[in-house]
Structure 1
């Protein structure tokens, strides 16, 4: 960083930070929020999906589900190790929140966060059997890939590197979800799948946040965002619609 530049102007010009010692307070707060949201969502998502492993109709499906649970937990650990550099007790963190806690199925909390942690709102809702879990994974995994593609370019280099390592893992989860859904569709489960798609579509869409965020410009200046929530959501809607159509389903 040039000596006559402030950290703020350095970041606005596309600079990167590499360790906690030169991170400004506001940047740190936004960075910690981003990391906590990812870690909590991965741990809550893994906990919820673990409950349906044995609902898988065959060994192959159960292996795929167990693999997703394992790898999501490992993804959370990758980012948690970055949080630990900022003083977070990584060993205590994983056991500190009720990751399996869920609301009633008919609850509607919009984009509200849990009272317990920073998970995305979608991970407060319970899965309803195997078909429902597969459809949820089809929609949410596509959202995760889009969001990780964005976060892989952020200005805090250690976290960007962690996200770049996680991205192909989550991409494979998305592929596994579509493979599982295609098999279900071929077996005649499209009616139940369409019902689940109608349930999960608005809840996954809400994970992109508000399209009218007042912080968008600030986050862009910090190098923590490049694309707006509404643009990411639109990208997801197009891609998710295409996937649903390939399964013989309609966009809700």
Structure 2
């Protein structure tokens, strides 16, 4: 490791920020690209899944909400992909180079494993099973994304932190749209169906927080790429998601 790299590492460990690809050390670059690829791939895979469910919406308002989510997730992916392009990623091929609509069988259980095709979070490898199922998945995942983006909005690469600060309220609104969808469905005889979907998606969304005993956290923290460990982020999500469910008379699985 060069003296310059040591100086940058010390600078980051003390809370410094980087603003340009030219002064990013190789190890930092690799971890930063993983963060960006995970977000972009997850956003594109999530958008693809919701695109297939738009016409299942019970009314025009619900279909507009689903279409809005697809549009905004794709736009959020583009925002971060542009930053990846500054590091040399082939942005022209990226969006068409992976099977974003690919899903595993509903009964599959892959834990935290990633797809062989891309860096999407494991939860986005499972298929949606109708409108009510999509609404619950969007509610639970919406709160998870909100927690994760709040964490990532403080990363030490300033252009990415700024992008995530723009994206966070947009993604938070997706969870609010899901809550509106739950309220609408509860006016019909859908409570049992919704509760079944909670039981299905809760443990799968939980895996999106990764290994609760991650050995990499301290390394990422010294780089300024993380501040809060996976277990604490998961706890924040559980509290927020449980509160949202209970407001509608639903409950997380035991």
TM-score, normalised by the number of residues in structure 2? 0.97
Tell me, in whole angstroms, the C-alpha distance in 2 between the residues paired with 1:142 and 1:91.
31
1:72-110 alpha-carbon deviations (Å, 9 max, x no partner): 000000000000000001111000000000000000000
Give the match for residue 205 of structure 1: 206
Aligned to 2:61: 60
Aligned residues between the structures: 250
Q: Is the 8 A contact 1:82 1:158 kept in 2?
A: yes
Q: Per the alignment, in what secondary structure is the counterpart of residue 37 of structure 1? A: helix
Deviation for aligned residue 1:235: 0.5
Aligned ranges 1:75-114 → 2 under 5 Å: 75-114=76-115
CA deviation after TM superposition for structure 1 residue 186, in Å: 2.6
What residue is the counterpart of 2:30 in the other structure? 29
Alignment partner, residue 155 of structure 1: 156
Deviation larger for 182-191 or 40-49:
182-191
Q: Counterpart in 2 of 1:135?
A: 136
Task: Indicate the SS of the match to 2:186.
Answer: helix
CA distance in 2, matches of 1:174, 1:186: 19
Q: Deviations over 1:185-218 (max 9, x none)?
A: 2323110000000000000000000111001111
Tell me the secondary structure at the aligned position of residue 106 of structure 2.
Answer: coil
5+ long unaligned stretches in structure 2: none
Q: Give per-residue Cα distances to partners, 1:20-56, cap 9 Å, x unaligned.
A: 0110111001000000000000000000010000000
Deviation above 2 Å: which 4+ runs of structure 1?
none
Residue 185 of structure 1 corresponds to which residue in structure 2?
186
> Contact between 1:145 and 1:167, CA under 8 Å: does it hold in 2?
yes
SS in 2 for 1:234: helix
The Cα shift of 1:250 comes to 1.4
SS at match of 2:39: helix
2:241 counterpart residue number: 240
Unaligned runs of 5+ residues in structure 1 are none
